[in-house]
């Protein structure tokens, strides 16, 4: 499994990698940021999850990422050949 992370300014899209959380964006002075995390896993077929997470101040970005990973895990289980009664479409809608 490989994982890549990008951090960009919510307002102007500038790359914020290397800037401290409280540092304002050099382009537009906002501190709001988006965390982009891509996980790619090679299996018989290729699974991939690409998510852009808003960054509310009251909740750490990695908590949202853990939620996304939980949904990916549940979707992966629902698509296993021996899955019992899994409704993958309903689960996918729940993830959105």
Q: Which is nearer to Zn ion, 13 or 56 (CB)?
A: 13
Q: Cβ of residue 65: shortest distance to Zn ion, in angstroms?
A: 22
d(CA 13, CA 31): 12
Q: Name the residues that contact Zn ion, by CB under 5 A.
A: 9, 11-12, 14, 25, 27-28
CB of 18: closest distance to Zn ion in angstroms? 14
The two tokens of residue 5 are 């992370």
CA distance linking residue 71 with residue 73, whole number of Å: 5
**Between 7 and 25, whose beta carbon lies closer to Zn ion?**
25
- DSSP run (H or E) holding 6: strand 2-9
Contact 78, 88 (CB under 8 A): yes
Task: Compute the least distance from the CB of residue 35 to Zn ion, in Å.
Answer: 15
Q: Which is nearer to Zn ion, 20 or 45 (CB)?
A: 20
């Amino acid at each position: 499994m490989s994982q890549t992370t990008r951090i960009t300014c919510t307002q102007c899209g500038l790359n914020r990698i290397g800037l401290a959380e409280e540092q304002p964006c050099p382009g537009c002075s906002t501190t709001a940021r988006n965390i982009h995390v891509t996980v790619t896993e090679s299996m018989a077929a290729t699974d991939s999850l690409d998510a852009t997470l808003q960054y509310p101040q009251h909740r750490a970005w990695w908590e949202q990422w853990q939620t996304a990973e939980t949904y990916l895990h549940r979707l992966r289980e629902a698509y296993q050949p021996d899955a019992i009664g899994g409704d993958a479409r309903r689960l996918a809608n729940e993830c959105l």
